[in-house]
């Protein structure tokens, strides 16, 4: 009897150790997924991958994205193994974000803003991946993009990439002299939030004929930005940009959408505020404001699309 008990204990001991180890792992996974949820909001993954209008499941795809090249349909990125990215590895996911290439090696269209995400920190990608594992899998089938000739040919994207896509690491920059001393540490965080996670330039920077962002006019506004509508100049030019906004004005706008005149954000920015900037910590909104205020002011009036 006693012997049997001992035997049982001996058998169970490693099991208990394994369980403790599993519990530790589970706690670590949970912490990673919680951090990943924050990255998810800051990077605005929800909007392009959720068909809110059609009442689709979160991240199950189907959101229509209108561009000058045709309509893209955001794919299913839930952990469903057949219709989502459930069969992917972290390495596949990292490659998609940083290099814009699918597990099969096909280049993605830059409607997926990997041009910005390419500089995402390794640990942010891992956390984001952990969070995506916790999303409810959805078996929604991906729809085909509806692109104008000849953009339907995915291989053309390779040529575009050769011309315009420069993957790389995010480099912390030297805060410009214009940044107040106590705000300098925030500047780099702000640059990362604006340039990489928030991909603000994807809408606020004008594009050339083939859709590449004109970096010389970074955030200086786009006549045909989000969904063909004009997007304002957010450089600190007082007349045509937001030079007359204080740091607090910018923070308030990013939190709940009110500008210094009491006007409220609309269009694509209302969505960005609801899903992204409104969900950041006050420190991160401050960092964004500090970075925006430090940009070179560019005088550039954005007029209505039809002149």
* Chain residues in the site for ligand HEC (CB under 6 A): 43-45, 48-49, 65, 72, 74-75, 77, 85, 96, 102, 108-109, 111-113, 117, 128, 194, 198-200, 202-204, 226, 229, 231-232, 234, 242, 250, 253, 259, 261-269, 272, 277, 288
Smallest distance from ligand HEC to CB 10, Å = 46
Q: Which entry of ligand HEC, other proteins, none binds 194, CB below 5 to 8 A by partner kind?
A: ligand HEC
Determine which residue in the list 87, 91, 256, 281 makes contact with other proteins, applying CB under 8 A.
256
Question: Do 191 and 183 touch, CB atoms closer than 8 A?
Answer: no
The interface with other proteins within residues 216-235 (CB under 8 A) comprises 229-230, 232
Among 1, 166, 262, 283, binds other proteins (CB under 8 A): 262
Instruction: Describe the chain by its helix, strand, coil percentages, rounded to 5.
Output: 45, 5, 45
Number of helices and strands (H, E) in the chain? 11, 3
Q: Which of 119, 89, 114 is nearest to 100 (CA)?
A: 114
| Using rule CB under 8 A, residue 258 touches other proteins | yes
Residue 10 neighbours by CB under 8 Å, 6+ apart: none
Judged by beta carbon distances under 5 to 8 A according to partner kind, the member of other proteins, ligand HEC, none in contact with residue 99 is: none
Decide which of other proteins, ligand HEC, none touches 217; Cβ closer than 5 to 8 Å per partner kind: none
In whole angstroms, the minimum distance from the beta carbon of 250 to ligand HEC comes to 6
Tokens 């989000």 sit on residue:
226
The 10 Å Cβ neighbour count of residue 195 is 18
- Angle, in degrees to the nearest 10, between helices 247-256 and 267-275: 90
Stretch that binds other proteins, among 2-10, 97-105, 157-165, 257-265 (CB under 8 A): 257-265
243 lies in the binding site for other proteins (CB under 8 A): no
Judged by beta carbon, residue 162 or residue 303, the one nearer other proteins is: 303
- Is 297 a residue that touches other proteins (CB under 8 A)? no
By beta-carbon proximity to ligand HEC, the closer residue of 96 and 217 is 96
The candidate with the shortest Cα–Cα distance to 176, out of 25, 47, 296, 75, is 296
For 150-178, give one letter per residue: b (16+ CB within 10 A) or e: ebeeeeebeebbeebbeeeebeeeebeee
Q: Which is nearer to other proteins, 265 or 289 (CB)?
A: 265
Q: How far is the CB of 102 from other proteins (least distance, A)?
A: 33
CB neighbour list of residue 229: distance below 8 Å, 6 or more residues apart: 267, 268, 305
Q: Which helix (H) or strand (E) holds 281?
A: none
Does residue 265 bind other proteins (CB under 8 A)?
A: yes
Q: Should residue 30 be labelled a site residue for other proteins when binding is judged by CB under 8 A? A: no
């Amino acid at each position: 009897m006693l012997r049997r008990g001992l035997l049982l204990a001996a058998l169970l001991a490693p099991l208990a150790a394994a369980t403790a180890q599993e519990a530790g792992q589970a706690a670590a996974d949970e912490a990673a997924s919680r951090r990943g949820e924050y990255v998810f909001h800051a990077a605005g993954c929800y909007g392009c991958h959720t068909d809110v209008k059609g009442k689709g499941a979160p991240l199950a795809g189907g959101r229509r994205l209108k561009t000058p090249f045709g309509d893209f349909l955001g794919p299913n990125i839930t952990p469903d193994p057949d219709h989502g990215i459930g069969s992917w590895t972290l390495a596949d996911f990292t490659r998609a974000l940083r290099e814009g290439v699918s597990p099969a090696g096909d280049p993605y269209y830059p409607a997926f803003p990997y041009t910005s995400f390419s500089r995402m920190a390794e640990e942010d990608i891992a956390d984001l991946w952990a969070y995506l594992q916790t999303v409810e899998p959805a078996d929604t089938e991906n729809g085909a993009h509806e692109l104008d000739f000849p953009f339907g040919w995915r291989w053309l994207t390779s040529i575009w990439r050769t011309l315009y896509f420069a993957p790389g690491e995010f480099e912390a920059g030297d805060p410009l002299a214009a940044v107040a001393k106590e705000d300098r540490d925030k500047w780099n965080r702000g640059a990362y939030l604006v340039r990489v996670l928030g991909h603000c330039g994807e809408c606020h920077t004008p594009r050339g004929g083939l859709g590449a962002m004109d970096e010389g006019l970074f955030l200086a506004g786009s006549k045909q930005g989000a969904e063909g509508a004009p997007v304002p100049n957010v450089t600190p030019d007082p007349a045509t940009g937001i030079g007359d906004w204080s740091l607090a004005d910018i923070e308030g706008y990013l939190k709940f959408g009110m500008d210094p005149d009491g006007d409220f954000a609309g269009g694509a920015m209302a969505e960005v505020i609801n899903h992204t900037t409104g969900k950041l910590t006050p420190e991160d909104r401050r960092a964004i404001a500090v970075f925006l205020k430090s940009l070179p002011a560019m005088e550039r009036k954005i007029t209505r699309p039809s002149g």
